[in-house]
A and B are shown apart, each in its own frame.
Chain A
Amino acid sequence: MSSIDAHLPVLQVVVPLLVAPLVTILRPSGLAWAATTATSFMALMIAVGLTAGALEGDIQRYEVGAWAAPYGIELAVDSFGALLLLILTGASTFALLAGKASLDQQIESGRQPLFFSAWLLVLAGLAGILVSADAFNIFVFMEISSLASYVLIAGGPDRRALPAVFKYLMMGTIGATFYLIGIGLIYMMTGTLNLADIQVRLVDVAGLRPVVVAIGFITVGLGLKAAVFPLHVWLPNAYNFAPHAATVLLAACAAKVSLYVLLTFDFVVLQPVLPEHDPHFGAFLMPLAVLGILAASAVALFEPNLKRLLAFSSVAQIGYILLGASMVSLPGVTASLMHMFNHALAKGALFLAVMCLATRLPSLELDDLAGAAKRMPWTMAAFVVGGLSLIGIPGTAGFTSKWYLISASLEVGGAGGWLLIGVIVTGSLMAVVYIWRVVEAAWFRVPLAEPTEVREAPALMLSVTWLAAAANVYFGLSPWLQTTLASNGARMLLGEAP
């Protein structure tokens, strides 16, 4: 390892964190955008470097200030963390690169540097969660990213974003507080905050009530932040009213990062310690996952607004991710992690296409989409590719996670396994319906009024959207990256040798 490689885990956080205040003084706004995009791209390169290390199978540890764990702050990046870092930095870079025109349209140029600064804080905060190996640092970064993301969501021109963001703020704060209470209790019982250290020390106090209560607080708190059904109510409006570029970033990774913490806590820290952990974990989360898939998809079937439709679809997709994890088996957890990556690709491409549409259309109601395919054929084609991936049509990334999910359900076996397959399949078919509603509106519905603008989205935005759509196909035909990272990550979570 060269010297710079060893510092990658900390650089992942430090680079955006340091640039964030600098961006606020950059004028004109184009310069701030360029600096933010460049920083985001650098973060992506760091994530790629960390992924390369993770693909070799080792956990990259870093002691901040060279203070040894458990006294100092420890950072650790494993395959699971690397997978999510890729999603995070990739989504951020794509959204920024594509989003210039859309942001110029939505945010007045004087306020843009502040917006970009908040963006970098979100990036730093979420990356911080993913690299931390310390329960309290996770909380700190969670707060940084949450507060900054409230700013992102409220940054758009839509006044309705304010109540949406207030709801998000309330629920997000409750979630974070629950998490804090949980780790407070755990700290009380074990005297440590380092995750690995907690696991070692928890053995002695495993069955005691404060630990059980702590687990309850942590699970519910993180479930709230991850928009696990029925704690998802903040999500649809938050995604809907956020500036379009911010939606791309948040939809691709915000909820998944909380799921990362939840899974890490449950599998790495608690599972080896608590004998009854697995059945409880599965029995609690699997029904929520199933309900989430079915209920949220059903809402999406009737949702008249494109962005809200996709937001409800996200709630359903979080259900798939949880469903795999709640099987507590190697194929199940692998499917879960793969779906994090695949869903980010699909939803990223879809929201990028939505951003393209939004630059040219009066609104994102399906009625206003009538005839859009004639005017913006390339955008709608990219939307269809993303949609097919979301449905899980073979040849797209979404298919590989469906394949793993169904295989994992088959291994569950019995009537329960078939029931799960039924749920997965029903969810996919509902996705066909809600995606096809958009397709039919765009291709076959006759527009009510003659369109004022008859042209495609800006070239840069469109090409980035197509890059994302093409990634869905590439990783559908050659899913080596997410398969390797997900199966290594799942083995690590379940405590098996990679």
Chain B
Amino acid sequence: MRPETGILLALCVPLVGALLIGLAGRVGPNLRETMTLATATTLIAVVWNLLPEIFAGERPGVTVTEVLPGISIAFQLEPLGMMFACLASGLWLINSIYSIGYMRGNREQHQTRFYVMFSVSLAATMGIALAANLFTLFLFYEMLTLATYPLVAHKGDQATVRSARVYLGVLIVASIGLLLPAVIWTYVLAGTGDFTPGGILAGKIDGPLVGLLLALFVFGAAKAAVMPMHLWLPAAMVAPTPVSALLHAVAVVKAGVFVITKIIVYVFGIDFLFAVPSSGWLTYAAAFTIIAASVVALRQQNLKRLLAYSTIGQLSYIVLASATLKPLAEVGATVHMVAHAFGKITLFFAAGAIYTASKKTELAQLRGIGQRMPWTMAAFTIGALSMIGVPPTGGFVSKWYILAGAFQANNYLVLATIIASTALNAAYFLPIIYMAWFGRDRTPAGQEHGEAPFAAVLALTVTAFLTLAFFAFNQPLVELESQLVSPVPTVMQGN
């Protein structure tokens, strides 16, 4: 298969899948779920099949159509996008297995719509990952916002609709109000929006305006949840947990930080941005978000809301790493996208499994739940340790690279932030873990429960395993992402 075909297939497979899932939904749930799994598997086959190209250093691309002169819908493979596409497609399959357990276990309504919109969201994610220019990126970024709205508003009652309104409101206001002007400004300045290694803006803009443009991009990509654009994320927790797990821990939020990283690397260029003092504010904004989100997380009583604030903090790790503007830190940013994805999806899966099995949502109810749901809580523990960054979990690897990047840049703010945040992460995760395993179970009689449905437990076991495995097997990813930045970092090859 030619890589160009592969790129287009990666976009079409989930869309065609959505259609088939919708049609299958009229026949029956079993066929519909089979169709979902088949679509997810096909997507993995298509996306992962493109990997050899990218490892060989190829950058195949395809232009679909030129919308306006100089502005086209085009796609191109590059290391960062490839990582994102592989991550999202891979976790979609696991998430679909989980969804089946969750949605059936909770007897949710409108399941066909749920699976269809999930598939459409994945198509939008593939578009974001493979976009070759700012216009295409923006197109699919908006598509993702709109496609996830029905998923967030899934329940349809008043409170949910109100939260979904916040979700859509913040994301659309930011993207139309800030991101779109930034995109158009870039096109006007540079005459192009193509992602080019080394950036396209050097020499085209100077002084404080660079900081302004960067601010428009960073806050415009509200999916990255840099404060104060984080408000949508806690609101989005009204969605069914599989949505929170794949979209609000992986696809949607990673789309935000992906956009920021991609723009820093391919539009500004890290060397250009490093030389301009007005870009320095981003480090402070990200550091503030990390600390503030962790402090807020300390005070949460609801498990999913706690995870949401943890996500906000972890996303800003990636922003912070990108903003460090040194090769190793950029690698750290991409590695953390993967490491956090594995860890956080595990945590959300666990939260959903607990809800499905016991309808428990508050931290106080989790006392002693480890005995009832050992598999789930073991996975939860692994995920939490990864968030803290304890070896042997994936979170340790990315933290290592980010710290190495901070040393490269002699940026002690970054160092201090990460150390402080590690302590805070430990402060809100460890008590939960302790309580779950060693607390006394106070489940009232008649509400005893065991593990969640098998499909859910299977999925969270797999992602917990991936979190552990990533600690040892991260070399291909690091090699791939090292192509992002030059000079290729060789210092850390021994890790």
| Residue B161 is within 8 A (CB to CB) of chain A in the complex | yes
**A440 at interface (Cβ–Cβ under 8 A)?**
yes
Contact of B156 among A391, A394, A406, A444 (CB under 8 A): A444
- In whole Å, how far is A132's beta carbon from the nearest beta carbon of chain B? 32
Q: How far is the CA of A393 from the CA of B187 in the complex (A)?
A: 18
A395 beta carbon closer than 8 Å to chain B: yes
Interface string of B182-215 (1 = CB under 8 A from A): 0011011000000000000000000000000000
Residues of B within 8 A of A403 (CB): 68, 71, 184
The residue that A407 contacts in the complex, of B65, B168, B188, with Cβ under 8 A, is B188
B172 and A429 within 8 A (CB)? yes
- The residue of chain B having its C-beta at the shortest distance from the C-beta of A431 within the complex is B176
Given the contacts A440-B161, A477-B73, A483-B68, A406 and B172 also touching, CB distance less than 8 Å: no
Q: Mark B145-189, 1 if CB is under 8 A from A, else 0.
A: 010000001001000010001001100110011001100110110
Nearest A residue (CB) for B174: A429
* Assembled-state Cα–Cα distance A393/B171 (Å): 13
- Total interface residues on B, CB under 8 Å, equals 28
- How far apart sit A453 and B60, CA to CA, in the bound complex (Å)? 54
Q: How far is the CA of A388 from the CA of B73 in the complex (A)?
A: 19
Q: Is B275 an interface residue (CB 8 A)?
A: no
A445-484 with Cβ < 8 A to chain B: 476-479, 483
Q: State whether A432 touches B181 (Cβ < 8 A).
A: no
Tell yes or no: B419 within 8 A of A by CB.
no
Contacts of B146 in A (CB 8 A): 388, 393
Q: How far is the CA of A429 from the CA of B171 in the complex (A)?
A: 11
Does any Cβ of A come within 8 Å of B416's Cβ? Answer: no
Docked CA distance A395–B65 (Å): 12
Given A406-B184, A410-B185, A425-B165 contact (CB < 8 Å): no
Chain B residues with CB below 8 A from A444, complex form: 153, 156, 161
A406 — which chain B residues lie within 8 A by C-beta? 180-181, 184
* Cβ contact within 8 Å between A425 and B181: yes
Complex Cα spacing A394 to B138, Å? 8
Q: Are A407 and B184 in contact (CB under 8 A)?
A: yes
Chain B positions within 8 Å of A479 at CB level: 67-68
When distances are taken between beta carbons in the complex, the residues of chain B under 8 Å from A410 are 184-185, 188
B135 cross-chain contacts in A, Cβ below 8 A: 394
Interface contact A425-B177, CB-CB below 8 Å: yes
Closest to B156 in A: A444
Distance between Cα atoms of A483 and B180 in the complex (Å): 20
Q: Which of B139, B143, B173, B180: most chain A CB closer than 10 A?
A: B180
CB distance from A389 to the nearest CB of B (A): 13
Q: When the two chains form their complex, are residues A440 and B165 in contact, meaning their CB atoms are under 8 A apart?
A: yes
**With A407-B187, A436-B165, A436-B168 in contact, do A429 and B177 touch (Cβ < 8 Å)?**
yes
B451 — which chain A residues lie within 8 A by C-beta?
A: none
B385 CB to closest chain A CB (Å) equals 40
Task: Tell me if B4 is interfacial: C-beta within 8 Å of chain A.
Answer: no
A175 in the interface, Cβ–Cβ < 8 Å?
no
Q: Determine whether A400 belongs to the interface, using a CB cutoff of 8 Å to chain B.
A: yes
Encode B109-148 as 1/0 by CB contact (under 8 A) with A: 0000000000000000000000000010011001100100
Q: Which residue of A lies closest to B150 (CB)?
A: A443
Among A394, A402, A426, residue most surrounded by chain B Cβ atoms (within 10 Å): A394
Query: Which residues of chain A are within 8 angstroms of B184 by Cβ–Cβ distance?
Result: 403, 406-407, 410
Interface membership of A9, Cβ < 8 A: no
Contact A425:B180 (CB < 8 A) given known A444-B156, A479-B67: yes
Answer whether residue A60 sits at the interface, using C-beta atoms and an 8 A cutoff: no
Q: Whole-angstrom distance between the alpha carbons of A134 and B177 in the complex? A: 43
CA distance A210 to B181 in the complex (A): 44
Contact partners of B172 in chain A: CB under 8 A: 429, 432
| Residues in chain A within 8 A of chain B (CB atoms) | 388, 391-395, 400, 402-403, 406-407, 410-411, 421, 425-426, 428-429, 432, 436, 440, 443-444, 476-479, 483
Additional A-B contact list (19), CB under 8 Å, known A426-B177, A479-B68: A391-B176, A392-B176, A394-B135, A394-B142, A395-B142, A406-B181, A407-B184, A407-B187, A425-B176, A429-B173, A432-B172, A436-B165, A443-B153, A443-B156, A444-B156, A444-B161, A477-B67, A479-B67, A483-B69
A-B pairs, top 8 by smallest CB distance, nearest first, are A394-B139, A406-B184, A444-B161, A425-B177, A410-B188, A428-B176, A432-B172, A421-B181
Q: What are 16 inter-chain pairs, A to B, with CB distance below 8 A?
A: A393-B146, A395-B139, A411-B188, A425-B176, A425-B177, A425-B181, A429-B173, A429-B176, A432-B172, A436-B165, A436-B168, A440-B165, A443-B153, A444-B153, A444-B156, A479-B68
